[in-house]
């Protein structure tokens, strides 16, 4: 729980790198609840510098479910290593730890997104044997369009589960 301020700082660094700093609005309280609340929405791993113990990277993930395989999988929401620590194996170590979690948990899939312009990261992923799913597009509904569509929903009588 003490890592939440550092995770939040790295989320903001990642958002700045991805040219979307203004979109990183999660508060420490929201992250604390998401990671350590009664019903955690996500899990995080921290990479630390061997010499100083300083947090130099993180991975944040959550389980997902495939109707095609009938099994759970893992969605990696964020993988970030601070620029000064890149090339030291932290990113690969985080991914390897998550792959091991997948195997231990019986997950069939480990999936995430990468920005199309992020060539260094794509090259890194390819070096690990990652399959890029070029035929898929990410769809997102948020803000006013989300509200407008929600207003058209029939009354089904029960709210979505907290998960």
**80 is known as an active-site residue:** no
Give the strand pairing for 55-66 and 109-112. Answer: unpaired
Segments of 67-108 assigned E as strands: 71-81
Angle (CA) 23-24-30 rounded to 5° is 130
Rounded to whole angstroms, what are the CA distances from 125 to 23, 38, 90, 97, 106? 25, 34, 13, 15, 22
Helix (H, G, I), strand (E, B) or coil at 81: strand
Helix (H, G, I), strand (E, B) or coil at 73: strand
Q: Exactly one of 58, 80, 107, 125 is catalytic; name it.
A: 125
- Report how far residue 121's alpha carbon sits from residue 24's, in angstroms, rounded to the nearest whole number: 20
The residues carrying an active-site annotation are 125
């Amino acid at each position: 729980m003490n890592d939440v301020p550092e995770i939040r700082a790295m989320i903001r660094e990642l958002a700045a790198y991805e040219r979307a700093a203004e979109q990183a609005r999660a508060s420490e309280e929201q992250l604390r609840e998401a990671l350590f609340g009664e019903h955690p929405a996500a899990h995080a791993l921290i990479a630390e510098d061997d010499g100083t113990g300083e947090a130099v990277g993180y991975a944040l993930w959550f389980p997902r479910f495939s109707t095609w395989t009938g099994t759970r999988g893992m969605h990696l929401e964020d993988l970030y290593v601070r620029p000064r620590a890149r090339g030291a194996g932290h990113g690969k170590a985080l991914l390897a730890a998550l792959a091991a979690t997948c195997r231990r948990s019986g997950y069939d899939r480990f999936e995430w997104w990468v920005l199309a312009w992020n060539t260094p990261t794509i090259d890194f992923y390819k070096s690990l044997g990652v399959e890029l799913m070029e035929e898929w597009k990410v769809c997102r509904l948020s803000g006013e369009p989300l509200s407008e569509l929600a207003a058209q929903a029939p009354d089904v009588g029960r709210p979505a589960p907290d998960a």
